[in-house]
Amino acid sequence: MSGFVSLVGAGPGDPDLLTVKATRALAAADLVFYDALLSTDMLELAPHAQKFSVGKRCGKPAIRQETIHALLIRAAKRGKRVVRLKGGDPFVFGRGGEEALALAAAGVAFEVIPGISNSIAAPELAGIPVTHRGVSSAFVVVSAHEEATFRPVLQGLTPGSVTVVALMGLGTRARVASVLVEGGWPESTPAAVVLGAGSANAHTWRGTLSSLGDAAFPDSAAGLPGTLVAGNVVSLAAVIAPARRDSRPAVSAQGAS
């Protein structure tokens, strides 16, 4: 028997934002290895599969990445159809590249199913376009887990020239703001934290770089993944966020065109 692995991007958290190909892979799966914080509604799309959590949370015991590789390879070699379900996009700070290399080295057939990266989706769902004509023509995405990783990138930016998006940076948000201010960004630069984008408990904090480190969040947002955004585009959310709808209005048969 020949197994197969699908490295699937789950997007920001809303099952409705999964791609059609992702839902098909889940429906056909025998095994699903899923990340932390994914919606349980997504797992219901794999009714015949066994599900195993292999997610990593900051500061908590976690399964080693090499162990995840071994689990994927072993299941595939036993003839199973395997889905590795990852938040956002598999190749954007998701270690999907590492898993793809491990599968290739083991001779296991696999595919990569892209997902909407949280670096774009989280700001967008909060009414923040990461690019906007006349405001920002580019955006930079960094992993904010460790300052040694994001500092060299942020220090090289011309103040105000781009939108800065930082993933995995809730605990380091004060340092992200400080590095930008040290680099010449005004303390008044608009900033936002988008928590749990795409989920029922989604929450957005908006302020400035000077207040980012002291940003307070409601208890309902505790434990939700966060995305930091800095740049003038954040100010557009004051108009866009209140006006956006979560779904299209119903259209009657008579009104359809």
User: Which residues does the annotation mark as catalytic?
Assistant: 35, 56, 168
Question: For the chain, what is the largest distance between any 2 Cα atoms, rounded to a whole number of angstroms?
Answer: 61
Which phi and psi (to 5°) does residue 128 adopt?
-115, 110
Q: How far is CA 97 from CA 89, 90, 106, in A?
A: 11, 7, 14
Consecutive H or E run containing 147: helix 147-155
Residues 6+ apart with CB under 8 A from 139: 119, 130, 131, 162, 163, 164, 165, 231
Burial class of residue 36, CB neighbours in 10 A (0-12, 13-18, 19+): middle
C-alpha span between 235 and 97 (Å, rounded): 35
C-alpha span between 120 and 4 (Å, rounded): 29
Tokens representing residue 113 in the block: 């199913």
Beta bridge partners of 63: none
Residues 6+ apart with CB under 8 A from 253: none
Tell whether the torsion through CA atoms of 58, 149, 171 and 97 is positive or negative: negative
Contact present, 13 and 64 (Cβ < 8 Å): no
Q: How far is CA 248 from CA 1, 129, 199, 243, in A?
A: 45, 20, 18, 13
Beta bridge partners of 195: 203, 226
